[in-house]
Amino acid sequence: MELLYLLCSIISTTITSLLLSLLLPFRRFSTADALLNRRNSVSLYQGTVFHERRRPVHHSFRYSVRYALIDLDNAPHPPPNHLSAEEARSASHTNGPVFLLTIPPSVGYEQNPLSVYYCYDVEGETKTLTKCIAEVTNTPWGERVTFLFNPNSDLVAKPLHVSPFMDMMGKWSLRTNDPADNLHIVISVQHPELGNYFTASLTAKRVASSASDNHSWFFWLMPHKVALWIYWHALKLWWKNVAFVQHPRYQNSTYREDASQILISLCLLCRSVSS
């Protein structure tokens, strides 16, 4: 049933995106397009995503990607399906500006495995990146979780089934820099049996944007390309006989709530230890 749903979704997305692409020179389609073309609220980044799986078989790949870093306080309205600046500040307990790193929707389609909110504290004239919020969406199920992490380095319990070739055992190790001309994010999986067996990274540079640039063209079909890479390399892993892991919701409908409780417990434990 899920395979049939996936095939129908691919066909529908292809037709819709083709039609909207033909109309792209003549109109803007969404609040996201209007937001991206407001120059003072968006920085553009271009870089490379790299994935490496070391066990039980070796498999690695890289692809080019484009991201937008959106100043949520100066944006005319929050991007669709994301937190506002106030919501991010409330979740992170910070008092400064909030920037969202994300792949914007393009011609009617959104595919964003990871978005990151950079949350700053301000004291006097000093602005410091103190917390980040990861927003993870799995493919093809479209489930989403958000959780806090320390940008310098943090270890969190895995809260979401992100791949049919990964189980729920393990923790995510995350770190990122304060985005400027260069941006870097690294996520690795610490597994109780396989060890540090998987790493994903994003390395990007800020690119110049002139007043004549159309950001809708800059991100044209970017979400589609990300989806294509996800499905293509899932097929390669299947071909390499990597074990298929059924979605845990079929055995436990509350698996996300259970994982979230573990995540919350670990956060509370870490806070009590640090205090």
Residue 24 domain-assigned (yes or no): no
Full residue range of the structural domain in which residue 222 is found? 44-274
Per-residue pLDDT of the chain in tens (275 residues, 90 and over written 9): 455 555 665 666 666 656 665 555 555 544 455 556 555 788 999 999 999 999 999 999 999 999 999 999 988 777 888 999 999 999 999 999 999 999 998 887 888 999 999 999 999 889 999 999 999 998 878 889 999 999 999 999 888 888 889 988 889 999 999 999 999 999 999 998 999 999 999 999 999 875 445 677 888 889 889 988 888 898 899 999 998 888 877 666 666 566 555 555 545 444 444 44
Residue 244 domain-assigned (yes or no): yes
Residue 77 domain-assigned (yes or no): yes
R_g (Cα) of the chain, nearest Å: 19
What phi and psi values does residue 201 have, to the nearest 5 degrees?
A: -140, 155
Question: 135, 115 in Cβ contact below 8 A?
Answer: yes
Residue 74 domain-assigned (yes or no): yes
Per the structure, the count of domains in the chain is 1
Strand order, beta sheet including 171-176: 144-149, 126-137, 114-123, 98-102, 59-71, 42-53, 195-207, 182-191, 171-176, 154-157
pTM to 2 decimal places: 0.83
Helices (H) and strands (E) in the chain, counts: 6, 10
- Name the DSSP class of 147: E
> DSSP string spanning 87-125?
HHHHHHT--S-EEEEE---BTTB---SEEEEEEEEEETT
- Distance between CA atoms of 19 and 14, rounded to whole angstroms? 9
